[in-house]
Amino acid sequence: MAWRRWHRVVVPQFESFIQGGFECGSHLWPDGRRLDLSASTGHAYHPSQDFEAVAACGIRTVRDGICWHLIEASAGKYEWGSALPTVLAATQAGVQVMWDLCHYGIPPHIDVWSGEFPERFAAFAREAARVIRRVSGHSSIFCPINEISYWAWAGGDVSHFGPSAVGRGAELKRQLVRANLMAIAAIKEVDPGAILLSAEPAIHVAPQTADDAQVARYFDALQFEASDMLLGKTHPELGGHGACLDVVGVNFYPQNQWFWGGECIGRESNTYRPLRHILQEIFMRYERPILISETGAESKERLPWFRYVCDEAVAAMNAGVVLTGICLYPITDYPGWGDDRHCETGLLGYPDGAGERPVHGPLADEIAAQAARFDALLGDLTQRPSLQVTPIA
């Protein structure tokens, strides 16, 4: 794929290429317990310190989220006390935010299977966009529903978390797409300049035997279903269209490749698919800028994994992929979903009583080095006469 294939590509102006994500999952376990990562990581209580800390490390663009179940605790009544400090803190710190409006969690008084669910979510999204624009003073970037594909599987097929169903993944996926599309229309009503982001897992499912080849290809292709629906490539009755997606978010972790019915595929395996090839395929499929919207690894693997992703990103960009950034996710350490263990994944550790977090020095140094690397690369690429990029102000 050559640069000349893409005569003009429109991309948003992100404040930094290396970015960070604050975990904000808020789903229900099958036993009714609520997970709230924004609270359990401490970010909900110390947003100012967190934004200042990442900015000091050169990260000026982040993913973050607000919790629908807290804001609409009573049906139709919005209380913004849980969200306003975060929106205001980001604004004061000069940090650009990509806002998740639904990160797996919905209020308990709303039935995700009901016909009213998309309308209820759209109403919430409209008011959230209005409030964020009023407080921040500018248009924002929104990912209305995070990881539709993963949520459909985890919540609709295997009862991992809410709505804790089995065998209804396809139905849940369509319902989430409907809600996402209605939310996009609502956001645009109050913030016409809003940028729309998806965030979907990028995977590779390989067969263990020749007999597995067909089923492995089928499940590998499922990663594209949600975005295809949003864009109206499939299921046009849902109302998808090309204007509902500005940036294609790709979530990519060490465990995102596996043998059908078997173990994860390690990077040392000949079966492992290089990230550069995955990015090229997605770029060619959707013809839109790509953001690596989540990536990261735990403990001693966090540094080599980050270097691997950056190396693959450079290779993809040199092959013609328009890549807008790499988001380390989560940017803080966090308690494990199921066991509360201390997951050392972040640039920042757990906060103390004053909200100050220790900085993982080796990762901070690597972020600075990679940021300089990508700044130089982007400067070189924009000088190529065959590439024309129009930034979105």
Mind listing the pLDDT tens digit for each residue in 338-356? Answer: 889 999 999 999 999 999 9
Q: H-type helices in the chain, by residue range?
A: 37-40, 47-56, 68-71, 84-93, 117-136, 148-156, 169-190, 213-221, 225-230, 275-286, 302-318, 361-381
Say if residue 173's pLDDT is above 60. Answer: yes
Question: Is 79 in contact with 131 (CB distance < 8 Å)?
Answer: no
pLDDT (0 to 100) of residue 11: 75
More reliable by pLDDT, 6 or 264: 264
Q: What is the mean pLDDT of residues 324-350?
A: 95
What is d(CA 319, CA 277) in angstroms, rounded to the nearest whole number?
A: 10
Reported confidence tier of residue 383, pLDDT bands at 50, 70, 90: low
* Number of C-beta neighbours around residue 212 at 10 A: 17
pLDDT (0 to 100) of residue 384: 54
CA nearest neighbour of 63 among 356, 332, 390: 332
pLDDT (0 to 100) of residue 392: 41
pLDDT (0 to 100) of residue 285: 95
pLDDT (0 to 100) of residue 326: 98
- The Cα-based distances of 309 to 295, 305, 365 in angstroms read 8, 6, 16
Angle between helix axes 117-136 and 84-93 (nearest 10 degrees) is 40
What is d(CA 235, CA 238) in angstroms, rounded to the nearest whole number?
A: 6
Domain boundaries, the chain: 3-329+360-392
Phi (first) and psi of residue 78, to 5 degrees: -105, 125
Reported confidence tier of residue 380, pLDDT bands at 50, 70, 90: confident
Question: Is 42 in contact with 355 (CB distance < 8 Å)?
Answer: yes
Q: Which two tokens stand for residue 70?
A: 């807290």
Q: What is the mean pLDDT of residues 55-78?
A: 97
pLDDT (0 to 100) of residue 389: 42
| 339: three-class secondary structure by DSSP | coil
Say if residue 235's pLDDT is above 60. Answer: yes
Q: What is the mean pLDDT of residues 213-234?
A: 96
Q: What is the mean pLDDT of residues 282-309?
A: 96
Reported confidence tier of residue 115, pLDDT bands at 50, 70, 90: very high
Q: H-type helices in 231-360, by residue range?
A: 275-286, 302-318
User: What's the mean per-residue pLDDT of the chain?
Assistant: 93
CATH class of 3-329+360-392: alpha beta
pLDDT (0 to 100) of residue 8: 54
What is d(CA 337, CA 343) in angstroms, rounded to the nearest whole number?
A: 10
Specify the range with the lowest mean pLDDT, choosing from 87-96, 104-113, 275-284, 374-383.
374-383
pLDDT (0 to 100) of residue 382: 61
Any idea how long the chain is? 393
Q: What is the mean pLDDT of residues 170-183?
A: 98
Say if residue 228's pLDDT is above 90. Answer: yes
